[in-house]
Structures are given as structure tokens and as C-alpha cells.
Amino acid sequence: MMRVFNDIACHVDQGNGKRKGREVIESRTDSHFCAFAVYLQPWQGGVFEFLDLRKNHGKEEQFARDTLYALLVTDLFMKMV
């Protein structure tokens, strides 16, 4: 599902005027032109697959390289570990 979110974020006009079409998206001139962030809590299912999305090896269709994402860690979680 992260790949779907990634593709949506890259095609939505975010008003910055830097993207004129597909050729600009493919050239990746701006490192964070897809301003879209996803947060996941550590106890949710699929957390390891979520963290593997930035790795440099594996199938390209599994990656969401343009989406910003993070692990949402609470104070309670940090006290428990």
C-alpha cells in the first residue's frame, strides 16, 4: 500500500511549481518533491516490512523511495524497552 501512497503523492499538484509533467518526476531533480509522510507505531503489523522500504536491494516495485516515513515511538514504548 505504501507504493500506492508514494505514486499518489508524486502525481498530486502540491503547488510548488517545480513539476511540469512526468519527465520532471522521472528526473528527480528535487530530492523531496513528493511531500507525503506516513507514521507507523511499533506494535502494528508489518512494521519490519515498513522499515525495509528504504533498503537498496530487492524488487523495485516494493519500494516507496519518495515517501517520507517514520516510526512513531511513544514515551510509554521507550520506558518498556
Q: Where in 1-81 does DSSP place strands (E)?
A: 37-40, 68-71
Q: What is the pLDDT of residues 18-59, one digit of tens each?
A: 555 444 444 444 444 556 778 888 888 888 888 877 777 767
Tell me which of 31 and 10 has the higher pLDDT: 10
**Residue 69: which domain range?**
2-80
What pLDDT is attached to residue 29? 44
Domain count of the fold of the chain: 1
Closest residue by Cα to residue 51 from 66, 61, 40, 59: 40
Reported confidence tier of residue 62, pLDDT bands at 50, 70, 90: low
Q: What is the pLDDT of residues 70-80, one digit of tens each?
A: 888 889 888 98
Residue 13 has pLDDT above 80, yes or no: no
What pLDDT is attached to residue 41? 86
